[in-house]
A and B are shown apart, each in its own frame.
Chain A
Amino acid sequence: MNPGSRETPSPLIYLNNAATSWPKPPGVLEEVARCLQLPLCETGRTAGTGSVDYPTAAREALAAFFHAGPHQNFIFTQNATDSLNLLVHGFTKKAGAPFHTITTELEHNSVLRPLHALEQDGAIRLSVVPFRDNVVGLAEIKRAICPETRLVIMTHGSNVLGSVQDIRPIAEYLKANDIFLIVDGAQTSGHIPVDLSDIPVGAFVFTGHKALFGIPGTGGFFLPDPEAIAITRQGGTGTDSRALIHSCEMPERFEAGTQNYPGIASLRAGIGFIVSTGLDEIERKNRDLTRFFIRELKNVPGVTIYNDDPGLPVVSFNIAGIDNHDAGFILARAYNVITRTGLHCAPLVHERIDGGKGCIRASFSYFTTRDECRAAADAIREVAGSADSQVRPD
């Protein structure tokens, strides 16, 4: 036996949409191509005209989609992680002195790691509140609040449990108590309606490459009060170039350097697809797929589902007797079913649900079919039925 290289099998049953959605709507790919077929309309960076001003058009699409404005207060970043870093470090810089911060066990490392870094530096004191029945509610947040609390960061939807937090009462309570709330909407944006005109968040974070159907490298946040966050990134904005101090105007205040035009074009087209399809229709289809998949797996011996009533199209489970990485490998290579295994960058959730070992996550999109869900469930059933592993010790 000698090593060589490998061919990729196809077709795939892609159930990893909570990481990155695939496939993208055809209009998204066409818009990316269209964007690159003409010179970019880079406001302040070109003497040319004629192409689409994608950043402005996408900001307007986002403002309409999330029912929030002005559209200049939608800031583009690389992804949700980038947004959270800008917001967390910007808020801390603005505070100028150590303060108390609250987050939750449901968080992704995009929240946990910046906060722990700040805690190590002595810039914040951190409390992590537990989830109950798969969610974190206002009661848990209230219990953790102390006079020094200035910031709460919490996920809108868990990327492991698929549970959705009722953020409106939390946002209202925190606003009334002058505590800034950053909501991580990476998993919910594009899956369920988010009406920011009705939820008084300090900031709302989204990513483009998941349920909003954009390509990777797109994301951002909505910030109603720009003054709440200090500028931590400076550079060229194409405006007021004589000034050696970075612009305080929105959106330049938080955007330095040339934008990801193809990515922003894809995000706008992705939102266009959702709007034309109808978010209600997308939500209904995802809910049906999720319930169907759970029904298929619920009574399979050896399969443990960690939330059998998720609000998002995310189903996390384990198979008794098989390491989750092994199960994911088998599903991918023997059945062409692509899931995600391990800790899903959310280690604290796993400490609670599976002792920190991790699990297998299947996540759907509008383009997932019932037949694919059935085939995946059949594959999982077959793997679970073969789980009396034989171990040959050395």
Chain B
Amino acid sequence: MLGTFEQIVLLAVLSLDEEAYGRAVLRAVQAASGDDRSISAGAVYATLDRVEAKGLLSSRIEKGTPARGGRARRFYRLTQTGASALSDARKTLEKMWHGKRWPPEVTA
């Protein structure tokens, strides 16, 4: 089962399509959360590494440019396994939410 943050990162990669490199994913996740400071770069890169190790993402390296000090750039892409995992996570959540009244009636 995917964690919430993993789902967010995978969805960011999906939405960025061909432009999904680390920094762009970080910006997309920060924009989605609405708070630039609450999401650290370290957390996003660690999650990208983890989900890639699980086979949910694949990556390719592109040559560095002078704007990057000649350092290479890694682009990510959702794999079939990643798409299935996202789909399963969505189905599970939809099942759990189905028929729920929201906001719930809570007792004090």
Our verdict on whether A and B bind, yes or no, reads: no
